[in-house]
Structure 1
Amino acid sequence: MTEVSSQDPRFQDATPAGADAAAGGFTQQQIEALFVNAAREGDAELLSSFLDAGMDPNLRAEKGYTPLILASYNGYVDAVALLLARGAQPDLQDEKGATALAGVAFKGNLAIARLLLDAGAGVDVPNSVGRTPLMFAVMFGRDDMAKLLLKAGASPTRRDGENLNALDLAHRQGNTVLTALMKEDTRAAS
């Protein structure tokens, strides 16, 4: 085994989170960075090895990102499914208050949004300025995502820090289809 491969957790048993990480040639901080990077890159096999070795699926990395937030945002369905199955909490927020669902609403990844919603993700969890996943979907023209979130119970009338709601945003953008859908949704909820 080369010096490089002996330092790569793919070529050796991962060191358990509570064990002396330095004994394996890595500090705990380095192991955590490798784990987070596996999530960012969607390497489900490596993530599984880290989780088997005792890594916390809800570990906080730079800017408060969790493995689930990173895997979700980057579009890795298998990694997201694995993390959720292994105990990742879908509503943890990063330093700006964004959840995994907010990231996928922005990106428009319906498959991951469904996984998160099925795992109990809050459909209306606002970020630090009060924006919800539905608002992000509307702002970035993700109509199918907005429809999915509305069907899951997202509120089109919840207001953000600028006193705007998803209905206002759709109207401002001239999105008549979403505007009509959200108006219908608010009437049905009354």
Structure 2
Amino acid sequence: MTESPLMPEQQGQIVAVAMDMARDGRTADLVEFLDHGFPLDQQDPAGNTLVMLAAYHGHLDTVTTLVDRGADVDRRNDRDQSPVAGAMFKGEDEVVKVLVAAGADLDAGSPTARATAQLFGQQHLIDGEDRP
């Protein structure tokens, strides 16, 4: 295996830039990173992935693109939070629908997406209905 020519600090900076792209919904820029070999399921120091940050911040196009590229929709962060529960908590209904359609585990993490849906009266999102 070839060793990376980047220093650990530089690698950390690249991860931070990519995570900011996901957080900000800069899909085209993020796709360019991915096309040049950035790992789809890379985690930041807090265990967040690109799909976690895009979902939590409600960036539907970014989430859809990441899901279409095969992102792990169930990878939880270091606080045991899942992307679908984060999107549910933030009221990002369309993002939740994309993650559910991609097979997100509604019982993973703490709190689970099911518990979050119940708490916020959003059960219809995980039951596949359009309206409560």
What is the TM-score with the length of structure 2 in the denominator? 0.86
1:124 CA displacement: 1.6
Partner of 2:74: 91
- Aligned residue runs from structure 1 range 45-84, under 5 A: 45-84=28-67
Would you identify which runs of 4 or more consecutive aligned residues in structure 1 move more than 6 Å? none
Once residues 25 and 123 of structure 2 are traced to their aligned partners in structure 1, the CA distance between those partners, rounded to angstroms, is 25
Identical counterparts, % of pairs:
30
What do residues 31-73 of structure 1 show as CA deviations (whole Å, max 9, x unaligned)? 1111111111110011001000001111110211111000000
Once residues 74 and 39 of structure 2 are traced to their aligned partners in structure 1, the CA distance between those partners, rounded to angstroms, is 15
Pairing 1:118–2:93 present: no
Once residues 19 and 86 of structure 1 are traced to their aligned partners in structure 2, the CA distance between those partners, rounded to angstroms, is 24
Once residues 77 and 148 of structure 1 are traced to their aligned partners in structure 2, the CA distance between those partners, rounded to angstroms, is 15
| Corresponding residue SS for 1:63 | coil
Pairing 1:109–2:92 present: yes
Pairing 1:135–2:112 present: no
What is the TM-score with the length of structure 1 in the denominator? 0.61
**What residue identity is the alignment partner of 2:113?**
P
Once residues 124 and 101 of structure 2 are traced to their aligned partners in structure 1, the CA distance between those partners, rounded to angstroms, is 16
Pairing 1:148–2:125 present: yes
Once residues 125 and 65 of structure 1 are traced to their aligned partners in structure 2, the CA distance between those partners, rounded to angstroms, is 15
- Cα 1:19–1:63 change in 2 (3 A) is closer
What do residues 54-95 of structure 1 show as CA deviations (whole Å, max 9, x unaligned)? 011111102111110000000000110111112210000011
1:133 CA displacement: 0.9
Partner of 2:11: 28
1:19 CA displacement: 5.5
- Structure with bigger RCO (C-alpha 8 Å, 6+ apart): 2
Rg (Cα) greater in structure: 1
- Please report the RMSD computed on the Cα atoms of aligned residues, expressed in angstroms: 1.9
**What residue identity is the alignment partner of 1:67?**
L
Does the Cα contact within 8 Å between 1:108 and 1:137 map onto a contact in 2? Answer: no
> How many residue pairs get matched?
126
Pairing 1:43–2:26 present: yes
Once residues 21 and 86 of structure 1 are traced to their aligned partners in structure 2, the CA distance between those partners, rounded to angstroms, is 26
Unaligned runs of 5+ residues in structure 1 are 1-17, 153-177, 179-190
Unaligned runs of 5+ residues in structure 2 are none
